[in-house]
Amino acid sequence: MRSLPRGQMRWLMEAYIAQPRDLPSIDVDSQSDFIEEYLKAGAPEFRLAFISCCLGLNLLSVLMKGKTFSRLGAEGQQELLNKCFNSRNPLLRGMTVLPGLAFLMSYYRRPEVAALLGFDAAALKAEAELRKVSRDRTLPSRGDAS
């Protein structure tokens, strides 16, 4: 199954990622590439569920608001997402949480965004290199463990 078109990815990303003033703007191309790579690396069922949830949001928007999700405007999109997030129906909640996982991960994993939030991946990797981990040691027998 093919991925969502970049246009749909754009308005979904904009709806899920509230653009803070201090952080860089959304980069649809690189984030869409990450999402596609992320979905290809996982189980095929997850890819299908992700695309189904995104299309389901569009269908739900038509049923509830009479307009497609992209034509609702920012306030209408947030209202619909909040209704689904706060729903007691686990299917509706899951339909909003699952795409949000990929969209938010694609944004906050970017080095320029993560660095502004205080997460320095390069420093963490350098610190990890200082500690050598080995699996060559033999484990004690079950009788010795206390």
Among candidate residues 94, 69, 82, 74, the one with its CA nearest the CA of residue 18: 74
Query: Can you tell me which residue has the tokens 């502004």?
Result: 116
Does any domain span residue 145?
no
R_g over Cα of the chain: 20
By residue range, what is the domain housing residue 59? Answer: 6-130
**For every one of its 146 residues, what pLDDT tens digit does the chain have, with 9 covering 90 and above?**
456 777 788 888 989 988 778 888 888 889 989 999 998 898 889 899 999 999 999 999 999 999 998 898 889 999 999 999 999 999 999 999 999 999 999 999 998 888 888 888 888 888 888 887 777 667 666 665 55
Does any domain span residue 19?
yes
Does any domain span residue 142?
no
Q: Tokens at residue 10, please?
A: 């754009």
Does any domain span residue 103?
yes
Does any domain span residue 102?
yes
Q: How many degrees, rounded to 5, is the angle at CA 34 between CA 30 and CA 35? A: 120
Does any domain span residue 52?
yes
Does any domain span residue 27?
yes
Instruction: Name the domain count of the chain.
Output: 1
- Confidence (pLDDT) at 1: 44
- Confidence (pLDDT) at 60: 93
Does any domain span residue 141?
no
Neighbours of 53 (CB within 10 A): 20
Using H for helix, E for strand and C for coil, what is the string for 22-36? CCCCCCHHHHHHHHH
